[in-house]
Structure 1
């Protein structure tokens, strides 16, 4: 891809395309249909309301969005009745015209006799809704593992724009960095989440770019070790982005979001049956983003589309086809830099890069999921997916090369270099799961047996960096004194190529010994074969030649847990699992290094309080990598000091310990709550390289969050809701951990901070308006990567969204 990228579609062409598509859908839907939405007095969707079409003797139940649909109705006048326990029945006359779809909405009010402490709701709590990323629907109270789901209602109310904003509601999983302003680096329980830990609809997802949030139905987090399900994933947990799925009732939403710094984002989401079929349903999400930034010269542009089709091939077989395409271009930004491991004192808006810097990503994926029910107790699910991730980067090097005088001081002169890179990654996955329930005597079993195979094929040209491009003074930036030309980059003689093939077999059984005692046990076998080609320097000729590498890793990953439920609303659990991480480099005998094994122990308490209106979960854990790879001190003879960082030994140990408290409520008299707290301590507990008991970087010791929303119950304020959120991040470290080889390295203490956001929303029939003000107190802190990419968090900003339900 050329760095001189232009948008693949203009805003005008985008809207023309969408309008044409919507007109086409309306023609498809016109076949004597009646549909509508039922909302409560607080403006929220009323799920599970009974809707009766009296004269036609037809009935329907509203879904979680409050929508209902009647198809193939003869033209005429009908009586439409909506009823729900605790609410006044609503009755309306509607006229259904030939060849048209009639829309009729309802607003239901509480009856005067309703008990004040009772709220009718169809929403599930975090202890009632299984996570899809778990591959099998296990009730969270039966699962010896901590889980969190952030659903569509929260995503909509809080107008989330980035994944980092979502994770402010998830304790123990957090944004640990911000690489060049183009990627949110995620971590959990002290361990980084790479692409191996990030999933979209159950398939690994390259998180090298910020994911699109407008298409998401929910975000799932399965904390702790998940190696039995996915092989080599980091110990802290996995993250799954679940996109919105096709529906057979017609509906959707058109919205426009605008905010500070020229932020504009129109979005369209439409769904329904194809030609009123009971077999084919579709959904299409698409959005366009054009935004500036509080950072000078930094901007972003994105086009995204997510089509999907559901085909009910028979009463027992469903086929779901999903596509995903994103073209994202934005300015890479490595922040304000640090001089001698001290963050520079620059205005939050100061940009130190070049005007032509650009990071351009094109990401495509296709996925097919086939589910076949053998009978009421057994089903087979096949998942196949393909993803292509293509990135091109042209920017300055990170701001590290400051001019330092003999006394270690700097006047702010920065020698800027240029870097260019590109990569093309193809990822293939096939997965087959057998899921079943059976009984042996008095013991019940919930089985998962499956296998998966995937392949990463990555190729990247290697460009020679330009070390000396120009010199700027960060305290006295003058655009006229900065170079603006784009020099030619030379490439090395060989591209970097890596092919990684992975294969796994796994089996798991949830054994219900009794209603109160359950045991979860399972085992996975994984095999990974990695072959690589890259440019290396021949030590004898000093010429660059093609170097090759090959490694084969094998591992067994067990899992075991016990759950005790003294009551139906409480469960206590204890579990053990391990995971593995393949290592690069060789041992002192120049043989491929074995993988590192990480053991994890977890104990927890899950509670459903106030008759299920409030979920309160407490978890404690210890994660220990007792054969952490680090540079070997000596070569094979045990005498010669080793200076090669690729020659390693499994002699280190990293230990992570922590606790997490998760709180989430259902709506209670208009009030809803999400909150919690996490504590984590991750250290090098044994090392020949790092100081013993030194903390690992980026991981906050403490995080806490609270979100409170109130929807007004009185008729005169119906549809109005207010909210406030608070998010606290404790002390963190950036910089570099000191080693014997690099005694001048230092750690940088990042300031802790508390952010407050305010929310206002109003809904009237099908129109809604939401306003949000973020970082009300304008707090300043930083996300960091190493000692050089120090990115300020955003200042006080506003965002507003106006939406229309179709």
Structure 2
């Protein structure tokens, strides 16, 4: 097996240039008579779901979320174009269509003077009106006994989001918990880390060891709490689903250029339409290229991404959606400023402690096919099959732990740098079948989901010999030692580590409407996981082959009740459990049982002021009563020193409260905000002190974003925004161990912080300009992901995006 990588992305630029040519040709192939355009409101915002009609032909369509519409195969002549939408004055205009051409016709609608008191409202789906595709069955959030959030494309565009953590600043209870060497973001929710098993793209698991590309996303879906019934062994805090942009039959798209501080350059292209004016086949193509520096000296990033998709209407009842993406990401690994004796090293924010040749290279490819067949208006079958290949190769310094201690116990900043090389190749396969339907039994209405899934991970990890002492530097004085720059040869272990994981699950879930006010959600999943591993251990230079095998199964129930005293209020309570497979063996050398995690959730969802404001409150408790820890004694009663021998003696309890707020646009003003409190502790332990907090989880987070779009004609198209995010005190370092005398492990308190970002946008017809200033107050604090990996957050930065709608 070859673990090689070419970091240069010069060829990617050629591909992007070819795609620009494709853009030109895609506009040119509309050779039949047609009419297309974009509808906006008087404030320059896209007017979605507007009914547009060619009166003489009695031909109508509905605008997309971007306000786009299109008519194909229109005979040459003059027509009356009529547009109607609730909340807007009807509009009629005369248009002329020419033979062999597609006519472009944009127009704006004027809002009616519809008022509630003195308030003019622009209608869009609220927080409690957006069903989640990751839920597998379309259930309105008001009917769901669970906290959910959807962050749509409008917010992503306004905030010019670059990384996932920026999106999640709008979601309470889900947060950035670490940055893992600057090459990925570690996300957690309600006190539990989201691994790749908790991160999905279009409903299929996604390896989150690389930062996902945000320009391709249509929305981000978050289902908090237990989701084991839908996905098996997912972490207790919730799941994320990244939904990419889908093909459309109206021709359109966008070309943009984004620039920012520290040599940040990012051109992007998004083009979609019907192939050859077909009403059966549509396509979409997203692609982008990034080249960027960093506020950290010597740290750079370069990536190329492309996301093609194809929608085929194979019949009146069958849709076939084919999606793929390719990501090539190269960036400098950066393990931060380090901690000396569990105290953060006080060096300038830009100080980089790594070597000049460090690089982390990732190549990720995926393909997905979704077939949806509607049996009738009530029943549907959906089949999903996907494949993902993830390959990573890194050369970097080890975490900055080798600080030299003087005889008097002091430290002068001398650091012995070690080197490491790592590589991973992972192949992931998924097949899934869901049947959904609605029916009645007597007075009860049912929304049924029955399904099954099977997936497989094939992971290969070669073993390399690390270099414990490569050179010595001083973190306070770069000139004290001459730094080495040659790339050494890393020895290779004899064997690769191989892990083959097979998972299988079947599930059934039913939402039962007992009346207009009472609903019950109940279901059950059976999951089985088989893990086969091969590896090697090294003793005195000799490789010894080892194998391991485990098989786990679990039943994951879910039950919830919803009471809706009014159409605008929903009260709910639910119970669910999830499970986590464990590695290692018990004291009798048997595979360790999985941990079962119980979750309780109660809450209230409100649509206040006739739906102008969504206001939700959720309280939860999550308890893992069988958390694995190192066994204190072996089967014969002697003290245990083997970390692979474990017992389910620990208990972790997470509890908290979340408040979510989201408004519609009121006189051009809209708001997103909320607050969360989380307390995650070891409530039982044979290793750590009881009631010790777990690392990386802020006790308090809060967010607030306000946007205003000017309503008068002179400032039409101008909008302003201010967003803020607060993260409370967190802990890094390591929890002190009871079982080790004079334990040196300590926790590091990371200070709380507030970030403010400012946004300005201006649109005129198809052209738009967006400006963004992040960290307005230039706040200086850190994120931590290991005892000595402490990364400073970015300083104040500027970003601008110019875009043209096609």
Q: TM-score range by the shorter chain?
A: over 0.9
1:394-433 correspondence runs (5 A): 394-433=395-434
Secondary structure of the corresponding residue to residue 493 of structure 1: strand
What is the match of residue 710 of structure 1? 708
Alpha-carbon deviations, 1:382-440, whole Å to 9, x = none?
A: 00000000000000001010001233321100000100011100000000111111111
What is the match of residue 392 of structure 1? 393
Alpha-carbon deviations, 1:631-666, whole Å to 9, x = none?
A: 0000012x2000111100001100000000000111
What is the match of residue 208 of structure 1? 209
Q: Which runs of 5+ in 2 are unaligned?
A: none
The structural deviation recorded for 1:23 is 2.0
Q: Which segment is superposed worse, 581-590 or 125-134?
A: 125-134
Alpha-carbon deviations, 1:252-273, whole Å to 9, x = none?
A: 1111111000101011011111
**Cα distance change, pair 364–213 in 1 and its aligned pair in 2 (3 A):** same
Secondary structure of the corresponding residue to residue 694 of structure 1: coil
Q: Which segment is superposed worse, 386-395 or 76-85?
A: 76-85
**1:363 and 2:361 equivalent?**
no
Secondary structure of the corresponding residue to residue 93 of structure 1: strand
What is the match of residue 239 of structure 2? 238
**Cα distance change, pair 618–267 in 1 and its aligned pair in 2 (3 A):** same
RMSD, matched Cα = 1.5
Secondary structure of the corresponding residue to residue 155 of structure 1: helix
**1:138 and 2:132 equivalent?**
no
Secondary structure of the corresponding residue to residue 562 of structure 1: strand
The structural deviation recorded for 1:97 is 2.1
**1:693 and 2:688 equivalent?**
no
**1:556 and 2:594 equivalent?**
no
How many angstroms apart in 2 are the aligned matches of 1:569 and 1:393?
52
The structural deviation recorded for 1:760 is 0.4
The equivalent position to 1:684 in structure 2, one of 682, 685, 696, is 682
How many angstroms apart in 2 are the aligned matches of 1:604 and 1:86?
33
Q: Which segment is superposed worse, 468-477 or 11-20?
A: 11-20
Native 8 Å contact 2:123 2:665 kept in 1: no
How many angstroms apart in 2 are the aligned matches of 1:663 and 1:111?
27
The structural deviation recorded for 1:803 is 0.5
The structural deviation recorded for 1:551 is 0.4
Alpha-carbon deviations, 1:336-394, whole Å to 9, x = none?
A: 00000000101110000000000000000000001111111111110000000000000
Native 8 Å contact 2:572 2:602 kept in 1: yes
What is the match of residue 791 of structure 2? 791
Native 8 Å contact 2:781 2:793 kept in 1: yes
Alpha-carbon deviations, 1:214-258, whole Å to 9, x = none?
A: 000000000000111101000000000000001111111111111
Native 8 Å contact 1:231 1:526 kept in 2: yes
Q: Which runs of 5+ in 1 are unaligned?
A: none
1:468-617 correspondence runs (5 A): 468-478=469-479, 481-537=482-538, 543-617=542-616
How many angstroms apart in 2 are the aligned matches of 1:122 and 1:322?
31
How many angstroms apart in 1 are the aligned matches of 2:694 and 2:214?
30
Q: Which segment is superposed worse, 111-120 or 70-79?
A: 111-120
What is the match of residue 126 of structure 2? 125
How many angstroms apart in 1 are the aligned matches of 2:480 and 2:550?
49
Native 8 Å contact 1:48 1:122 kept in 2: no
The structural deviation recorded for 1:121 is 4.0
Secondary structure of the corresponding residue to residue 484 of structure 2: coil
What is the match of residue 69 of structure 1? 70
Native 8 Å contact 2:121 2:664 kept in 1: no
What is the match of residue 664 of structure 2? 666
Native 8 Å contact 1:82 1:106 kept in 2: no
The structural deviation recorded for 1:57 is 3.4
Alpha-carbon deviations, 1:655-695, whole Å to 9, x = none?
A: 00000000011111101110000000000000000000000
How many angstroms apart in 2 are the aligned matches of 1:551 and 1:771?
53
What is the match of residue 51 of structure 1? 52
How many angstroms apart in 2 are the aligned matches of 1:305 and 1:230?
27
How many angstroms apart in 2 are the aligned matches of 1:113 and 1:508?
42
Secondary structure of the corresponding residue to residue 230 of structure 2: helix
**1:760 and 2:742 equivalent?**
no
**Cα distance change, pair 518–487 in 1 and its aligned pair in 2 (3 A):** same
Secondary structure of the corresponding residue to residue 228 of structure 1: helix
Native 8 Å contact 1:47 1:122 kept in 2: no
Native 8 Å contact 1:511 1:518 kept in 2: yes
How many angstroms apart in 2 are the aligned matches of 1:162 and 1:130?
24
**How many residues in Structure 1 have an aligned counterpart in Structure 2?**
803
The structural deviation recorded for 1:59 is 2.5
Secondary structure of the corresponding residue to residue 762 of structure 1: strand
Q: Which segment is superposed worse, 176-185 or 42-51?
A: 42-51
**Cα distance change, pair 186–101 in 1 and its aligned pair in 2 (3 A):** same
1:732-771 correspondence runs (5 A): 732-742=730-740, 743-771=743-771
Secondary structure of the corresponding residue to residue 166 of structure 1: helix
Secondary structure of the corresponding residue to residue 276 of structure 2: helix
Native 8 Å contact 2:5 2:361 kept in 1: no
The structural deviation recorded for 1:103 is 0.6
The structural deviation recorded for 1:478 is 3.4
**Cα distance change, pair 431–163 in 1 and its aligned pair in 2 (3 A):** same
Alpha-carbon deviations, 1:79-111, whole Å to 9, x = none?
A: 323333443343433332222211110012234
What is the match of residue 189 of structure 2? 188
How many angstroms apart in 2 are the aligned matches of 1:126 and 1:347?
42
Alpha-carbon deviations, 1:131-161, whole Å to 9, x = none?
A: 1111111111110000000000000001000
**Cα distance change, pair 85–581 in 1 and its aligned pair in 2 (3 A):** closer
The structural deviation recorded for 1:620 is 0.3
